[in-house]
Structure 1
């Protein structure tokens, strides 16, 4: 099994709030990445977008298509990883230490990407380059440099 590494972590307090980068953080079943507005579980709802993950390799490919370097935080993802390909299907698990995140769906690039850099939305469309949305199955503490592994669903 190949492992990746957590190389970035960020959160935002509201929909248009600036991204705040972190060295470490806590992920919880009820709140996603602590302090991020997207992770809260609404009563009676199945969480689908508690934590978002972006792979450096996919981000680099999108930036190469643009011909520009754009900071990864422009994607507004929570976790930035390198060294492995994120699964392109729901149900697989991304594990970081004790934390287990179930992939629910592709992170669909929105018009906010073009606000950050014209053409970025289209550059993120192919092959799930925009990353994945996850729900938290098991929480815990994480930090930059942590090992990441994929647990494929049977």
Structure 2
């Protein structure tokens, strides 16, 4: 993988367990995470740790291969309930790293996005398929506002 990747997808949900909605662009803010996503709203006096969820397209594809689904039956990346899908860049496997997305947006990594039992509700075995090597993705908090669009460059700046 290279030193930069591409934002392959953006998704959000209006409430917990609501269907994911994919969008071509979104505003990302310190106050609300991905605009329109219920998970990203920062509570007063709290430092958000789970404001934005990111997943690597390659990790999702590896998990789909592990499930052994028939060709064409693979699930879309947003079934993982992630907000941003990045292709071509290995996301950091540690807290405190900073991702630059588009011209101004910055997201600081906070922790691994451990797959939960909800994944097995989506597809039997998905939780296990997402467990190795941070395949479930990484969580982060917004540290600088900015618009993001599918096709934007994603890079690690710190």
What is the TM-score normalised by the length of structure 1?
A: 0.96
Does the alignment pair 1:71 with 2:76?
A: yes
Within 5 Å, give how 1:19-98 maps onto structure 2. 19-68=20-69, 69-96=74-101, 97-98=103-104
2-structure distance, mates of 1:121, 1:94:
26
Does the alignment pair 1:149 with 2:155?
A: yes
Q: Does the residue aligned with 1:62 lie in a helix, a strand or coil?
A: helix
Q: Which residue of 2 aligns with 1:7?
A: 8
Residue 111 of structure 1 and its aligned partner are, at CA, apart by 1.1
Residue 45 of structure 1 and its aligned partner are, at CA, apart by 1.0
Q: Which runs of 5+ in 1 are unaligned?
A: none
Moved >4 Å (runs of 4+): none
Q: Does the residue aligned with 1:57 lie in a helix, a strand or coil?
A: helix
CA RMSD of aligned residues (A): 0.9
Aligned length: 152
Q: Deviations over 1:80-121 (max 9, x none)?
A: 010010010000111112100000000010111111111001
